Amino acid sequence: MHTRSRSLTLAAASLVALTAPAGLTTFFDPSQVAAHPASGVTSETYSSGGYRFVVTRDKLFTGGTGHIIGRSVRVPWPQGMEAQAVTTPPPGVTDYKARMTITREDGRVFDWNSFTMKLLANTGGAGAALEIMPKVNGEDAFGDPLTFDVTGYYGGTFSYDESPNVWGSTARLKGFATYNVNLYVDFAFTALAFTAIVPCPADLNADTFVDDADFVIFAAAYNTLDCADPAMPAGCPADLNADTLVDDADFVLFAEAYNALLCP
């Protein structure tokens, strides 16, 4: 039985929904640092700003030399994130497409607001569509992937956002934890914008409860007050209304969540 020792109450307050954006994250900026936590036979994994990118790389490419030389990356971090078609897959693998999987490090859902991608091969003759398929519990979220026209030539760039567009729109890329991307030729994202959604922002220790443990964290932040104070935890998570202060307005929101106990 999950218990708590105190009960916070509100005499009178106007309360708002507990679902709130954790903030917009944009890539790519020279100041952004990427970790490289994993490397596969034909893949690389990078993480930055709370997001993880798993991309295909043509590491087994021989170029007719008789030995593995791989292919160089033309859009290195922080200029962008490149995915390569795998011209020489491992034995038994028949997937040659350039692929990228994007998730958050904390596993939470996020919105994909916009992107700019760069072609690293010609598609003008055959035509091409970048495909994006969100996942829900490991299953495809839609019957067919969302497509974005990228017909053009090497070095061409294509930008898409939530605006209505017959060639593609990110408007439906909302509230998913995983986005799988593919194209039959090499490509790189050179700009990305994501918004992470925190379904229970007052759950400051991410254990699915808003209880005494969270109260201790909130109280410390409340006493610090200013999000710019060096003593404030990184990201100022107790600033529930995102006004750069942890004050009475945030207490109102925290108290509602505390009295509910369970995250929605």
Q: What is the pLDDT of residue 113?
A: 97
- What is the distance, to the nearest Å, from the Cα of residue 214 to the centroid of all Cα atoms in its chain? 25
Q: How far apart are CA 150 and CA 22, in angstroms?
A: 31
Q: What is the pLDDT of residue 4?
A: 36
**CA 225 vs CA 67, 81, 211, 220: distances in Å:** 61, 38, 21, 9
Torsion angle of C-alpha atoms 223, 228, 197, 240, degrees rounded to 10: 30
Helix, strand, coil percentages, rounded to 5, for the chain: 10, 35, 60
In sequence order, the β-bridge partners of residue 209 are: 262
Closest CA to 263 of 184, 202, 178: 202
Tokens encoding 242: 């995102």
Amino acid letter, residue 146: L
Tell whether the torsion through CA atoms of 39, 37, 71 and 58 is positive or negative: positive
| Burial of residue 220 (number of CB atoms within 10 Å: 0-12, 13-18, 19+) | middle
Q: How far apart are CA 104 and CA 196, in angstroms?
A: 8
Tokens encoding 143: 């019957």
Q: What is the pLDDT of residue 249?
A: 92
In sequence order, the β-bridge partners of residue 54 are: 45, 101
Q: What are phi and psi of 191, to 5 degrees?
A: -155, 135
Global pTM? 0.72
Tokens encoding 207: 């254990």
Amino acid letter, residue 247: D
Q: Classify residue 35 by its DSSP letter.
A: E
Tokens encoding 3: 């218990």
Domains of the chain: 22-197 (2.60.120), 200-260 (1.10.1330.10)
Q: What is the pLDDT of residue 17?
A: 34
Tokens encoding 220: 């410390």
How high is the mean pLDDT in each 10-residue block of the chain (264 residues)? 38 34 80 93 94 97 94 97 96 94 89 98 96 95 98 98 97 96 98 86 85 94 93 85 89 91 77
Torsion angle of C-alpha atoms 193, 197, 202, 206, degrees rounded to 10: -100
Tell whether the torsion through CA atoms of 14, 20, 26 and 30 is positive or negative: positive
Q: In sequence order, what E strands does the chain have?
A: 20-27, 35-39, 43-48, 51-56, 81-83, 98-104, 110-119, 129-136, 139-140, 146-149, 157-160, 178-183, 187-198
Q: What is the pLDDT of residue 10?
A: 33
**CA 208 vs CA 204, 233, 259, 263: distances in Å:** 9, 20, 14, 5
Q: What is the pLDDT of residue 263?
A: 79
Tokens encoding 124: 């003008």
Tokens encoding 96: 């040659």
